[in-house]
Amino acid sequence: MHTNAGNLKKGDFIHYQNAIWQLQKAEFYSPGKGSALMKTRIKNLLSAKNIDYTFKTNETVEVAQIDSIEMQFLYKDGQNLHFMNERSYQQYQIPLSVVGDAADFFQEGKKYFVYLQKDNPLTVRPPLSVKLKVVATEAGIKGDRVTGAKKPAKLETGVEVQVPLFVKVGDTVSVNPETGEYVERVKT
């Protein structure tokens, strides 16, 4: 399927340089003179390479037909993430290099959306936030809670994030897996 580059948006998949790329960023730009542009950052799904590319808005782009299927995350080995389609029980593996740091926040047994093209897994759509338990952190210093200071905390998946000083071991925190940033403490 073809579309004008002006219709592209973040998350779309396109064919570019004989590969499938996902738009990480898409910004409309009108320089005042000349034609409008679509400034994009695209990620190659095989090599995980990011590049910035500017399309003319009237340029034709081939959009890739991608399916999104919710699958159960089974486990992570040294190089791949393993998922299972719970309807067909078929298992898929996706290279860690394609998913990136967001994979550090995935929990075994949880469900995530996997992008497939013709039954070949491409990548995983990370959730907007994940709720994880703090398993190790230092105690905050009394009276130093107003400054907005942060401290490292190890979460149940083994990843370390910066959290406010009031967070303690046993708390559940919400984290953005794409940025690795603390969002809030979750009341349980």
Rounded Cα gap, residues 102 and 2, in angstroms: 31
Please say which residue of 38, 63, 88 terminates a domain: 63
Structural domain boundaries enclosing 140: 130-186
Pair 58, 73 in one domain: no
Rounded Cα gap, residues 123 and 46, in angstroms: 9
Burial class (CB in 10 A: 0-12, 13-18, 19+), 78: exposed
pTM equals: 0.76
Rounded Cα gap, residues 135 and 121, in angstroms: 33
User: What is the per-residue pLDDT across 36-75, written as a single tens digit (0 to 9) for each?
Assistant: 899 999 988 777 788 999 998 888 999 988 888 999 999 9
Rounded Cα gap, residues 46 and 104, in angstroms: 19
CATH code for the domain of 76: 2.40.50.140
User: What is the per-residue pLDDT across 98-127, written as a single tens digit (0 to 9) for each?
Assistant: 888 889 999 999 999 998 988 889 888 888
Pair 119, 134 in one domain: no
Q: Where are the alpha helices (DSSP H) in the chain?
A: 96-99
Please say which residue of 125, 140, 156 terminates a domain: 125
